[in-house]
Structure 1
Amino acid sequence: MRLARWRRGDRVGEGFVFGDGVCAFPGGATIAEVLTAGLDAARELERDAAGSPVIPLAEVTLLAPLVPAAIRDFVAFEEHVEGVSASIDGKSEVVPEWYEAPTFYFTNPHTVRATGDTVRPPHSGRLDFELELAAVIGGVPGRAGSDLTAEEAAAHIFGYTVMNDWSARDLQAREMKVRLGPCKGKDFATTLGPWIVSADELDRYLDEDGFLALRAEVFVNGERIGHDLTSNMGWPFAELVSYAARDSAIMPGDVLGSGTVGNGGCLAELWGRAGELSPSPLGAGDRVRMSIEGIGEIENVVGEAVAPPPLRRARDRSRSRAR
């Protein structure tokens, strides 16, 4: 089962992908409503949609497959951490704390982009991509999304999509020195797409340890830059979801990124290993295409950066405690 959002003319549609076409949900349902109702209800809706009119994909423009409630992005690939740490800090290492728990940060759900969009970057001399697999959370009737075991968390995974966590590495490096972030190095764009593939459709890719063994590849201007298996994660997705829900809550429409795959899943990993900016950072006009087995591919072109308004340094203060 595949769920998508699209634009045709001045109308936005939401529904199923059937073969090479799309079909609106019966009754005018939305992606958000279908995710909230959960997988079982979505399967019933899919049966109801059988035989409905299908619009060829060639006649629509795909949108991001959902408007996320929240986006958490993990860092679950050890090989990625090794390479990027050398690029940012000058030292290739995986700190002991990485192995203790799956770390994540929150990014901006308001700057999600679709496949085919031109991505406007910030002013950066080290613009980068990040190839990731992302889980999309759905509802489970009668179960809240808090304090879940891994087994319980697995039931909350509605499906998966491809994710590009666009990154400005020079901005990110400055921000991380303040012991907080990343913020402006990451929050300008995240691509999700081309659609959501239901979790059960990918069961055949599960290995004996519960990891999804999907082939992931990224190309820049037609040249393959990186490839990996998503089963090289340090934790399976159910454990990522469980950790996100610990002392907190996950909700339908939340997106959880795996973090960048290894073996060239981003340029910064390759820069760290090479000790130089090779391959070159992304620039205007570069075309980035990502594909993940069993799901599909996303592609974006890098646009021109727009000069931001000036930013002043922090004001000098006396730290006086009295007026």
Structure 2
Amino acid sequence: MKLVSYQHPDLGERVGYLQQDHVLDLALAQAWAQEGGRCLAQRPFPVTMIELLEREGEGLRSAQELAATTASAQIAELSFAIPLADTRLLSPVPRPRSFRDFYAFEEHVKTARARRGLDIVSEWYQFPVFYFSNHNAFLGPEAEVERPSYTEWLDYELEIACVIGKTGRDIEPAEAHEYIAGFAVLNDWSARDVQREEVKVGLGPAKGKDFATSMGPYLVTLDELEAVREGERWQLEMTASVNGQELSRGNFHKIYFSFGELIARASEGVTLHPGDVIGSGTVGTGCILELGTEVHRWLLPGDVVELEVEQLGILRNFVK
């Protein structure tokens, strides 16, 4: 199932799902199903993604059952079906409860540090590390990303996000998939010149990261990805392009620490909640910092950045 958050022209922020290149509003779909005697559930459906996730597994199961009901209908007969091309999509989770971004691809870490004349520290292999970023600065697909006035070295980062769909604490890696609502494409925008200076102080990146994170175009539930799953990893090709020129290519399967291990680390002694977002970190070759400015200059206003992950869609943003 592909879940979306979108801006309804009259009702504001809503949660829906994709069907035949249309967005179907979950709450309106439930009302339609009830009127036709196709749905016996009486509890009103959530109207936002956070409300849906807060119902934990029940919410996702109900959404999938409802989608199966509308799948047999003609799209033209559904007054609440909006063509995707006419819809303004938001980040699948417009305001996550929290945002942790990991550093889990060995190739990226090795290459990026080598450009600074550094080796990977041995501690990197002992446990996955993350930093907290601004969960109130999330943007959706097709959104404009303003280059902050304080940076000249604006960069993209090609990542995958996991959205937590179930409350959990001290989660075991082997059980972590039960806590994942789905995956989405993630762009962890970075001000590299600011980041380079602030990490010298001994803390993680902060001002170099807190101005924007984009996610989308939709949240894909794990059942749709079962065919490409190999144990605790997924075979998903990942690419990034700027102004139509491909710069980055990698594969989600090459992540050193699995998402199960990332979730276990994040939840150790801490409760994760529905709507928390966890980033994978940048795939190998997945940013200009790693590629070098001899391959491509830093991003400028007017640039179009597209991140694409197999089955997860294209996340396109515009630098202004």
Range class of TM-score, shorter chain: 0.7 to 0.9
In the alignment, does 2:97 pair up with 1:69?
A: yes
* Residues 247-286 of structure 1 aligned to structure 2 (within 5 Å): 247-262=269-284, 264-271=285-292, 277-286=294-303
* Range that drifts further, 192-201 or 45-54: 45-54
User: Contact 2:17 / 2:25 at 8 angstroms: preserved in 1?
Assistant: yes
Q: 1:187-244 deviations in whole A, cap 9, x for unaligned?
A: 000001001101121121112x421110000000000001101111111111111110
RMSD after superposition: 1.5
Greater mean alpha carbon deviation, residues 223-232 or residues 5-14 = 5-14
Checking the alignment, whether the CA contact within 8 Å between 2:235 and 2:251 is kept in structure 1 is yes
Q: Does the 8 Å CA contact 1:83/1:268 hold for their aligned counterparts?
A: no
Q: CA deviation at 1:152?
A: 2.4
Equivalence for 1:241:
263
| Equivalent position amino acid for 1:47 in 2 | E
8 Å Cα contact 1:71/1:109 also seen in 2: yes
1:44, distance to aligned residue in structure 2 (A):
2.4
CA distance in 1, matches of 2:204, 2:306: 27
Distance 1:41 1:7, change over 3 A: closer
Q: Does 1:35 align with 2:53?
A: yes
Aligned mate of 1:119, from 145, 157, 180: 145
| Alignment deviations for residues 142-197 of structure 1 (CA, whole Å, 9 cap, x no partner) | xx511111122221011001000000111001000000120110000000100110
For structure 1, list consecutive stretches of 5 or more residues without a partner in the other structure: 304-323
* 1:45 equivalent in alignment to 2:46: no
Equivalent position to 2:131, from 95, 100, 105:
105
Can you list the C-alpha shifts for 1:24-55, whole angstroms capped at 9, x where unaligned?
11335121122122345422233235335421
Q: 1:277: how far off?
A: 4.8
Instruction: Name the counterpart of 2:73.
Output: none
How big is each residue's C-alpha offset from its partner over 1:258-284, in whole Å with a ceiling of 9 and x where there is no partner?
A: 00000x20000112xxxx553111111
Matches of 1:146 and 1:34, distance apart in 2:
20
Q: Is the 8 A contact 1:119 1:189 kept in 2?
A: yes
Does residue 221 (structure 1) correspond to residue 219 (structure 2)? The answer is no
Alignment partner of 1:85: what SS? helix
- Partner of residue 93, structure 1: 119
Q: Within 2, Cα distance between the matches of 1:37 and 1:199?
A: 17
Q: 3-state DSSP class of the match of 1:285?
A: coil
5 Å-filtered alignment, 1:170-209, equals 170-207=193-230, 209=231
The reply on whether 1:290 has 2:270 as its aligned counterpart is no
**Residues in 2 aligned to 1:78 and 1:151: alpha-carbon distance in whole angstroms:** 22
Q: Say if 1:12 and 1:248 are closer, same or farther in 2 by CA, change over 3 A.
A: closer
Query: Are residue 59 (structure 1) and residue 86 (structure 2) matched?
Result: yes
Residue identity opposite 2:111 in structure 1: G
Count of aligned positions: 291
Percent identity (aligned)? 39
In structure 1, give the amino acid aligned to 2:287.
C
CA distance in 2, matches of 1:86, 1:80: 10
Partners of 2:314 and 2:57 lie apart in 1 by 23
Matches of 1:277 and 1:128, distance apart in 2: 14
**Aligned partners of 1:138 and 1:158 also within 8 Å:** yes
Q: What is the one-letter code of the residue matched to 2:202? A: R
Instruction: Indicate the residue corresponding to 1:16 in structure 2.
Output: 17
Give, in whole Å, the separation in 2 of the partners of 1:13 and 1:78: 38
1:314 aligned partner: none
Q: TM-score w.r.t. structure 2 length?
A: 0.87
